[in-house]
Amino acid sequence: MIATIKSEWRKSRFRPAFLVGAALIAGLTVLAFSANWYMATHPGSADHPVLLSSLYPVHFVANVLGAGFPLGAAMAIVLGAIFAGSEYSWGTLKTVLTQGPGRLTSWVGRVVVFVAWMGIMTVVLFVVGGAYSAVIALFQNQTISWPELETIAKGFGVIWLVFAVNGAIGMVLGVVIKQSAAALGIGLVYLLAVEVIAVRFIDSLSNGAFKWIGDLFVGQNAGALISSITPPPVAPSIGAEQALAVLAAYFVALLFIAGGLIRMRDVT
């Protein structure tokens, strides 16, 4: 297992897709903070006024959570699809599987490194978000005060889990389709369109009688878990514990399915 993780890390540490992904996450965070800062300092420039105080470090966790989902999650799907699918298109899966470690060992090693990369992306998100909020506070001559460590840790854990689950969607699609381009396309369409439409439709049926089904979708639970850190005006119908359990179940189930396919299928 250690050998597999070592090998996966060696090939992933300078992988352009991950480096670009981390840079994009940083860029998105900067963009979101910059736009909000502009709107806060130019009243009337937006439909929804932004309070300048909401951009200070004490609130930075809420802001990075907003940048992390759904845009960061979409990036996680893309990275997951590329990470798993390219092994087929480059023909590297056969190289990996003929070296000795079993198929499941290879898969678990790959998952460990991917989840570590999602952790790195989360670190980038939080560091850039925290740093930018400090810059805004300094520019506005405000004293810098940070949120409680528990809030930061919870927010970090939530975003890491959201990235990991969405990355797992990308990975399983990459394994099922055996290439990355179609996998990431399908993953993005699912996250940004199919799930939204499906949940709205299900929730509208029989006066919401089937809402419990809509509450089982990934995006709904990711949103609910994020809301548990930064409560919105209207509380979501899904509790934090349930959201955590559903997302964890998705993560395990998706990776189990992909691992099963890798173990059983011929590599042609």
Partner 1 sequence: MQNTTIVETHSLSKRYGNGVLAVDSVDMSVRRGEVYGFLGPNGAGKTTTLRMLVGLIKPTSGTATVAGHAPGSPAGLARIGALIEGPGFYPYLSGRENLKVVADLASVPLRRVEEVLDIVELASRAGRKFGTYSTGMKQRLGVAAALLKDPDLLILDEPTNGLDPQGMAEMRKLITDIGQGDRTVLVSSHLLGEVEQVCDRVGVISNGRLVRQSTVRELIGEEGVLVRAQPMDAAQDLLTRMFGPRVVSRRDGALHLDTRPDRSMEINRMLTSAGVGVSELRPYERSLEEVFFQLTGEKQGS
d(CA 231, CA 215): 18
How buried is 61 (Cβ within 10 angstroms: 0-12 exposed, 13-18 middle, 19+ buried)? buried
Q: Which helix (H) or strand (E) holds 61?
A: helix 60-67
Handedness of CA 214, 212, 156, 230 (dihedral sign): positive
Q: Does 10 bind partner 1 (CB under 8 A)?
A: yes
Q: Does 7 bind partner 1 (CB under 8 A)?
A: yes
| Residues numbered 148-207 forming contacts with partner 1, rule: CB under 8 A | none
Number of residues that bind partner 1 (CB under 8 A): 26
Considering the complex, what minimum distance in angstroms separates the CB of residue 256 from partner 1? 20
Residue 251 has phi, psi (to 5 degrees) of: -60, -50
| Residues numbered 99-118 forming contacts with partner 1, rule: CB under 8 A | 99-102, 106
Considering the complex, what minimum distance in angstroms separates the CB of residue 6 from partner 1? 5
- Of residues 1, 11, 43, 51, which one binds partner 1 by CB under 8 A? 11
| Residues numbered 81-100 forming contacts with partner 1, rule: CB under 8 A | 90-100
Say if residues 178 and 85 touch (Cβ distance below 8 Å): yes
Q: Does 3 bind partner 1 (CB under 8 A)?
A: yes
Considering the complex, what minimum distance in angstroms separates the CB of residue 187 from partner 1? 22
Cβ closer to partner 1: 7 or 151?
Answer: 7
Cβ closer to partner 1: 23 or 31?
Answer: 23
d(CA 99, CA 238): 46
Cβ closer to partner 1: 11 or 42?
Answer: 11
- Kindly state the tokens that stand for 256: 């189990």
Would you tell me the crossing angle of helices 73-89 and 181-189 to the nearest 10 degrees?
160
d(CA 260, CA 175): 10
Considering the complex, what minimum distance in angstroms separates the CB of residue 14 from partner 1? 7
Mark 16-35 with x for binding to partner 1 (rule: CB under 8 A) and - for no binding: x-------------------
Cβ closer to partner 1: 1 or 249?
Answer: 1
Q: Does 263 bind partner 1 (CB under 8 A)?
A: no
Considering the complex, what minimum distance in angstroms separates the CB of residue 89 from partner 1? 10
Give the Å distances, CA to CA, from 198 to 87, 171, 218, 234, 238: 32, 22, 12, 21, 17
- Of residues 15, 71, 151, 211, which one binds partner 1 by CB under 8 A? 15
How many CB atoms are located within 10 Å of the residue 268 CB? Answer: 6
Considering the complex, what minimum distance in angstroms separates the CB of residue 79 from partner 1? 14
Cβ closer to partner 1: 8 or 215?
Answer: 8
Say if residues 109 and 5 touch (Cβ distance below 8 Å): yes
Say if residues 188 and 72 touch (Cβ distance below 8 Å): no
Q: Does 6 bind partner 1 (CB under 8 A)?
A: yes
d(CA 135, CA 184): 35
Q: Which residues bind partner 1 (CB under 8 A)?
A: 3-4, 6-7, 10-11, 14-16, 90-102, 106, 266-268
